[in-house]
Amino acid sequence: MVRKSKYKWLKSFLSKQLPWLSSFFILVLSFVFIPVYNVKATLVLIPIFFWGMKKVKCFDFIFVMLFGFIQDFLDGTQFGFNMFIFLSIYFVVFYQKFFPLDESFSFSYLAFCISTLVLILLKYFVISSMFIENINFFNILLSWAVLILCYPIFYWPLNQIYERVVSKYNA
């Protein structure tokens, strides 16, 4: 009995760090991921959406801004574009908490597909009209398709982390 209470502070600490650590891991993985046909999906949108939907207290908007700046730096886009996209999806999910909606996988998948499509198209039109004129629209849609195909792959491990660690040790 003493052993469980002895390590409770460590489990609580780790449960608070897992949301941003998992997001950072996926951010790094998105740059290790080999692009096909010059398509690079912004995979870090998946944990931002997931943690915003499940446990918004553990995933502060400061981390979202930081991940946006890292993505801007590594993508070579103007600073602030990815941060705007990441914060937009974070606040859409954050304010969704005020309206009791279904938290099932099918609802979250549909909401993720629609919100990322709108935000990626917005990003495409802003970047193509202001900075880069020769962006291929097909590659943008293909990167979105890769993103929504990767959502179920990352949803399961993130949901396991949430159910087994974060919800249990982080009240």
Reported pTM = 0.81
Are the C-beta atoms of residues 82 and 75 closer than 8 Å to each other?
yes
pLDDT of residue 99: 66
**Long-range contact list for 122-129, CB < 8 A, 24+ apart?**
122/85, 123/81, 123/82, 123/84, 123/85, 126/81, 127/77, 127/78, 127/81
In angstroms, the CA 32 to CA 171 distance is 34
Say which CATH topology domain 9-169 has.
Answer: Arp2/3 complex 21 kDa subunit ARPC3 (1.10.1760)
Q: Is 39 helix (H, G, I), strand (E, B) or coil?
A: strand
Does the pLDDT of residue 2 top 80, yes or no?
A: no
pLDDT at 101: 60
Q: Is the pLDDT of residue 23 over 50?
A: yes
pLDDT digits (tens, 9 = 90+) for 43-93: 888 888 888 887 666 677 888 888 888 888 877 777 888 888 888 888 888
Residues 6+ apart with CB under 8 A from 87: 61, 64, 65, 68
pLDDT number for residue 148: 92
In terms of Cα–Cα distance, which of 15, 86, 78, 54 is closest to 155?
Answer: 54
**35 pLDDT higher than 60:** no
What phi and psi, each to the nearest 5 degrees, are found at residue 5?
-75, -25
Domain boundaries, the chain: 9-169
Instruction: Give Cα 87 to chain centroid, integer Å.
Output: 10
98-119 pLDDT, tens per residue? 666 666 788 889 888 998 898 8
- Identify the band that residue 152 occupies on the pLDDT scale cut at 50, 70 and 90: very high
For the chain, give the mean pLDDT: 78
